[in-house]
Amino acid sequence: MTNKQKKIVVVSNRVPYKIVRIKESIKYKKSVGGLVTALDPILSKKGGLWAGWNGLVGKQKYAEQTVEMEGGYSVKFLGLSRQDVKDFYHGFSNRTIWPLFHGFIFQSFFDLNYWDSYKNINQYFADKILEEVKGDEVLWIQDYHLMLVPSLLRKALPGSKILFFLHIPFPSFEIFRVLPWNKMILEGLMGADVLGFQTKGDARNFLYNCSRALGMPVDYDTGRLDRGDRPVHVKNFPISIDFKKFDSLAKAISTNNRVRLFKREHKNQKFIISVERLDYTKGIKERLLSIKRFFEKYPEYKKRVIFVQVSVPSRTKITEYRHFKREIDQLVGNINGQFADELWTPINYIYKTIPQEILISYYKASDVCLVTPLRDGMNLIAKEYVSCNPDGDGMLVLSRFAGSADEMQKNSIMVNPYDFEGVADGIKAALEMSRNEKRKNMAALRKIVQENDVFNWANQFLNYSIER
């Protein structure tokens, strides 16, 4: 069997199916997301396995099942106990790695119990994968929850093709070395033959960490690490979305009807939209303060502009996130209280998950999309917005600290999210840009996303890996 014919085994924290119990029967509902969109057709075509947590807490009777799905590949459901979820998922993954890798050192917790749980769960995932494979598959591990799995699989399958992709940023040496177990994370990742990152900066950070922390020979030009026994290839592969899907939905009659109704109800007002999980890395607090500054500096826009902030609930069981939500709720209330006039309020704050068809209507109806994370691996909202703008009348205001800035900066208004004055000026520039200039920029952005969609990302990564 050639490399191109090999089955693919995808390993991620969560599997692409949810277990749904209907009376006495069990059903499997496919999840919606970029990774599922990209890899589902590849696995269906080549055959293979997708393994990960079943999403349930402590319900072991649904765990460790391998189910053949209609799509042509199998799904292996793994179970986590309540303590596992507390220490591995909420703990090391999201209270240690997530903040640290985004540069928030003082939000990070370095707890030995968290680390022990992380090691144990990574070993558990590796053991369960080894029960399912013969050694001639392509093994593709996903994201920061499973950074020890590549080396654990390598020990058992020294000749296998092992790949890894990190969906979040990789930190600089000065930040990463704060982690007490930094060398073990690096060694875990180097079990892979190919390591994929979102940006060139992330890939370079990883190489520099290996050079400084482990003393390994590094070729920055080719992205090659020399382990002695074998090379490790490091490269950036910016992830994307299903452009055709978003573009098609944006052009649907139902979408256009909702947009017309939306605009009819808000005559002579412009809309600026922001969408993200309620997470401190997304710059929501800083954005709200920038909006406050916008109305202070440009009072002529009162009653003419509405900011629509969609915040999707996230990690609600983690203390820092609960505190952050209260802070955002209070800030929105203060700003609306300060600037509201008659029936107009400057910020329409939505704290819930919005159905995709409604969200696409919001994108299309908005004159500006404000994407200002403090740090982001990629940020697919920016790509979703331009994909939903076939008429070209919108404008993207983008943080220079988003991974998508590498691709989209030439045709966006770039801002520093910590600079409230600069973001306020960027919002004004977006609102006042000529229609011709907006359409020119939007056409260029849409071309970038269309030519580098999520299928291109998956195929590029796999083809690059097969050649090495």
β-strands 48-57, 224-226 pairing: unpaired
- Helix segments in 148-199, DSSP class H: 149-156, 173-176, 182-189
Pull the structure tokens for residue 360.
């696409």
Find residue 26's DSSP bridge partners: 21
CA 178 → CA 88, 105, 106, 213, distances in Å? 19, 8, 11, 11
How many whole angstroms separate alpha carbon 457 and alpha carbon 238?
7
Which run of H or E residues covers position 382? helix 381-387
DSSP 63: S
Positive or negative CA dihedral for 68, 70, 76, 79? negative
What is the distance of C-alpha 286 from the center of its chain? 20
How many whole angstroms separate alpha carbon 226 and alpha carbon 220?
12
Q: Which residues are catalytic?
A: 167, 376
CA 157 → CA 7, 124, 142, 151, 226, distances in Å? 15, 16, 18, 10, 19
* Percentage helix, strand, coil for the chain under 3-state DSSP, each rounded to 5: 50, 20, 30
Residues 6+ apart with CB under 8 A from 80: 53, 57, 58, 88, 89, 121
- Helix segments in 78-111, DSSP class H: 82-84, 98-101
CA 328 → CA 94, 344, 374, distances in Å? 20, 20, 16
Pair 38, 142: CB distance under 8 Å: no
How many whole angstroms separate alpha carbon 362 and alpha carbon 255?
9
How many whole angstroms separate alpha carbon 414 and alpha carbon 426?
8
